[in-house]
Amino acid sequence: MYLPRSLVAQLYQSLVKRNHAAASPILLLVGLEPDALCACRILTEMLKRDYIPHKIQPVSGFVDLYKAADDLVKPMRTYSGGSGGLVICLGVGGMVDLEEMFGLDFNDETGSKGTGDVEVWIMDARRPYNLTNVFDVPAAEDPTTGEVVRDVPGVEKGRLPQSYRPTRGGVIVFDDGDIEEEMKKEMEAYCGLSEMPEVGDEDDEDEDEDEEEEDEEEEHIVREDDEEEPPVSGQKRKSLDDDEDEDMDDDERPNLRRRSNSMGKAIPTSRERRPRHGLRILDGSSDFSRAGSRSRSTSPVVAITKKQSIKQLRQQLRARRERYDEVIANYYDGGSSYSEPVSSLVYSLASELGREDNDLLWNAIVGVSSLELYGKTANGVGLNSLSTAGGSSGWNGDRGERIRSVLRDEVRRLNPMDAKDFARETSMGDSTGVIPTSARSPTDKSIRLSPEPRFLLLRHWSLYDSMLHSPYLSSRLHIWSDAGRRRLDKLLAKMGVSLTQCKQRYTHMDMELKRGLRERLLKYAPVYGLDGLVPPAPRSSDSKDGWGFVRFWGWKACLSAIDAGVILGAILEVGDAKSLSTSALEPENFVGTQEHSEEAPVNWQENSAQEHITARFWTAYDALKDIDLLNEHIPTAQHLHRAILRTGTALIEKKQIRHLRAFRMAVVREGPDVQLFTHPGALTKLALWIAEAIVELNGTKGKGKGSELVMAGLDETRGMYIVVGLGGGGNSATQTTRERIAKRDAKLKAKEAKKMARLAEKQKKRERRRAQRERAGEDVLSDYESEESEEEEEEDDDDEEEDDEEADTQQVKGAGRNRFGQAFRDVVDEMQGRVGVKQDSFEACVIEVRKEDLSGFLERLSMQVVVTVGRPVV
């Protein structure tokens, strides 16, 4: 089932009303990523204010999710000795069937007897959804008949009504707008499959023909008897069920529960069917399947007329089922993508309830900003679309800009400006775009808008290091080469900033240089192709597109939202800052890097790895509220990005980036930082850095503009490679906003020119016809008639152009999404268990491959992605 966005606050209020002293604690399953972490911090603050007990369980992947299901969720069921309760999934569970995973369905083999009063809320930005979670209705046993039914009053096609009251549990997906606005075809297909009766396969056509011949013979005999004898009341009729013949109208006919074929074998109803599409999770040396989606419902009444035979009816049902299956298959195979961040969705809930404050707003801003760091866009994990507006305005297109616009309005509302500051900003005009570094007072904890450049940890590094380690600036200046370093020095020299000044900490630089930094960047950055380095001057005091967010903690600290997301990500990916050494990080700080000794049992190694994961989560969770703890981990983030620059430079200089047909490939197997990139998040950041460099290296040559990249990092202690498939949208990722605007303007001008030429030609034709008719003395009315026919032809031409544009839009829709997850699964299916793989990450484009199987896996993948990546989505 899914909950419309307008009813999110109502569901939470019902939770508050149901809360009491003896209620069981709410279980929060939280993914190990900054967005889910910030959402968890917002939600827990709300639960604390309402005195609702809760328990937080960090979940790093599918293995942890299955373990949480067995140890925490299943014991909550009433028939398992529990008292029911609520499970909230933040950043996890949206792509798998949680009803089956948590044992909330009816299954005699596993002993599951329904939901057991366990309710599950899902808030996840990953797409595609598992359609079972969205449109399915929880099953319950009818106490009178003992049958399993799926019927919740008021729920139609999985949509919860305003009158819904939680009664018997089930899975509820929080809709951020995508389900009701963009998934109508999938809703129709899934619900149609659920309501469709089971039909036989094509192999049963011969049996159907035999049955039809027998029916015709019987009808012929009955017809002859009817001519001789009058009709007898109670005459039986032939129906779809060969075993049940009832004397009643079609409206009075009961629902068909089960039916039998001509051999007497029971055919399962649609309630017992399993669809063939869904997410498959790869584990161990071979893949195992979890049901991606299921269709369950009692079959509807099927009325059969005399003119319609059983064979024709089955053909129609079979054709409809194939059409619905194709819609669902296209949805699942369309590639991964991201929708609204979880932190933004949870903050909107707090806002509707009137609970918002600066702390909750800051958590939402950090969570939204963090998605840009990992390349999580509407096209999946890949390069963000670049923007000449600067800042983060290129992230996630129009939808991302709408979210940031709402957050900017919230900042203005919760942090009103003093009258003297407002007068100062109005008088100074555009020169107010100074990058703030200090608070107004020791007690200032406000959030402000700031024209943040695309630098990294600017306030906590030197200006030179911040520019050097910026992924945006590094790729465009070719910073990995000596020529790129000299280009950076020339940029600073043109700006009038000496190396002595720019290599000391930014907060200690000359005040005049800091005040004029933004204006100098706006003047000289376009010379080096850095149009989007800094946000432009605001058109008005309220319009600050592309501006970032900064928060102050008195004299203690000043952090931008991007910097906070960088530090939180480093904590989750690297660990504790105390483990840093001069050369590399301690290996025991990583998951799965413990040495495999014969004396150490496997369970101990898994428990030790889980302890490190849990420790990282709680450190990052506490750092969101403790600014001192967050500042302590700034060196961790700096170390991570130094390693990204070192490793990326080495791969480019040694020419270790290979081109394999449809994508490029790079492998990190040596160097001082190799162990650092055994975490998927750190490896993804390195892949994004290299992908931007590849686009800049090849974009000007007119070939190889695509940013598709497969990055592998060696974990020697486990004998595995962590593999990340980076999409990026192909050539669309290399277009800047200026190029897209220019292309759109050119198209509009061409269309306008074509229209004017058509009007001019039309006017000439009119004049020629009028002159001919005047000479011939014909009636002028025919001229009007010809004009009307021309106008109709012109309207038809316009309609055809609109149809062509709409068709092009439909063809482009979904094109360029990251389909490496589907390609990974297809390769494993082709190799039929001959390759050792494991998919534990919630990201479909992340997989683990055994060391000795990597070459064969990549070879098969290069053949597979040629078809998969470029395939358009209908």
| Burial of residue 567 (number of CB atoms within 10 Å: 0-12, 13-18, 19+) | buried
Residue 95, C-beta contacts closer than 8 angstroms, at least 6 positions apart = 124, 126, 128, 129, 130, 279, 842, 844
* Residue 475 to residue 709: CA distance in whole angstroms: 15
The answer to whether 122 and 174 are in contact (CB under 8 A) is: yes
Cα 293 to Cα 94, 95, 183, 334, 528: the distances in Å are 12, 10, 15, 16, 51
For 325, list phi and psi in degrees, rounded to 5.
Answer: -60, -35
Kindly tell me if the per-residue pLDDT of 40 is higher than 60: yes
Name the strand (E) or helix (H) holding 148: strand 148-149
Paired with 660 in beta bridges are 663
pLDDT at 259: 36
Kindly tell me if the per-residue pLDDT of 509 is higher than 50: yes
pLDDT at 278: 52
Which position has the higher pLDDT, 562 or 201?
562
Which position has the higher pLDDT, 42 or 514?
42
Proportion of the chain above pLDDT 70, given as a percent: 70
pLDDT at 197: 79
Provide mean pLDDT across the span 11-18. 91
Average pLDDT score, the chain: 76
Model-level pTM?
Answer: 0.79
Give the pLDDT band (50/70/90) at residue 261: very low
Kindly tell me if the per-residue pLDDT of 542 is higher than 70: no
Name the strand (E) or helix (H) holding 366: helix 358-373
* Residue 751 to residue 755: CA distance in whole angstroms: 6
- Read off the pLDDT of residues 780-803 as tens digits, 9 standing for 90 and up: 444 444 554 555 455 445 544 544
User: Which range among 73-82, 144-153, 548-557 shows the weakest confidence by mean pLDDT?
Assistant: 144-153
pLDDT at 276: 40
| CATH assignment, 2-176 | 3.40.50
Kindly tell me if the per-residue pLDDT of 159 is higher than 80: yes
User: Which range among 134-138, 347-351, 391-395, 538-542 shows the weakest confidence by mean pLDDT?
Assistant: 391-395
pLDDT at 700: 46
- Read off the pLDDT of residues 440-497 as tens digits, 9 standing for 90 and up: 888 889 999 988 888 999 999 999 999 999 988 888 899 999 999 999 999 999 999 8
pLDDT at 262: 35
Give the pLDDT band (50/70/90) at residue 65: very high
Kindly tell me if the per-residue pLDDT of 872 is higher than 60: no
Least Cα distance to 587 among 579, 597, 577, 578 occurs for 579
pLDDT at 816: 63
pLDDT at 730: 38
Proportion of the chain above pLDDT 90, given as a percent: 33
pLDDT at 205: 52
Secondary structure string (H, E, C) spanning 701-738? CCCCCCCCEEEEEEECCCCEEEEEEECCCHHHHHCCHH
Kindly tell me if the per-residue pLDDT of 560 is higher than 50: yes
pLDDT at 489: 92
Provide mean pLDDT across the span 140-147. 70
- Read off the pLDDT of residues 736-769 as tens digits, 9 standing for 90 and up: 444 545 666 677 778 788 888 888 888 888 888 7
- Read off the pLDDT of residues 175-225 as tens digits, 9 standing for 90 and up: 988 898 889 999 999 998 888 877 665 555 555 555 555 555 555 544 444
Most confidently modeled range among 459-473, 743-757, 817-831, 855-869: 459-473
Tokens standing for 312? 């024709």
Which position has the higher pLDDT, 546 or 239?
546
pLDDT at 252: 40
pLDDT at 163: 83
- Read off the pLDDT of residues 617-662 as tens digits, 9 standing for 90 and up: 999 999 999 999 999 999 999 999 999 999 999 999 999 998 887 7
- Read off the pLDDT of residues 680-700 as tens digits, 9 standing for 90 and up: 999 999 999 998 888 888 764
* Residue 820 to residue 206: CA distance in whole angstroms: 43
The answer to whether 196 and 317 are in contact (CB under 8 A) is: yes
Kindly tell me if the per-residue pLDDT of 43 is higher than 90: yes
Which position has the higher pLDDT, 580 or 314?
314
The answer to whether 752 and 631 are in contact (CB under 8 A) is: no
pLDDT at 150: 76
Least Cα distance to 66 among 37, 36, 97 occurs for 97
Which position has the higher pLDDT, 238 or 660?
660
Least Cα distance to 737 among 524, 531, 476, 548 occurs for 531
Q: Where are the domains of the chain?
A: 2-176, 737-801
Which position has the higher pLDDT, 363 or 105?
363
- Read off the pLDDT of residues 46-55 as tens digits, 9 standing for 90 and up: 999 999 999 9
pLDDT at 584: 38
DSSP state of 462: B
Name the strand (E) or helix (H) holding 800: helix 781-812
The answer to whether 857 and 835 are in contact (CB under 8 A) is: yes
Most confidently modeled range among 52-56, 586-590, 610-614, 733-737: 52-56
pLDDT at 784: 44
* Residue 55 to residue 47: CA distance in whole angstroms: 11
User: Which range among 357-361, 532-536, 673-677 shows the weakest confidence by mean pLDDT?
Assistant: 532-536
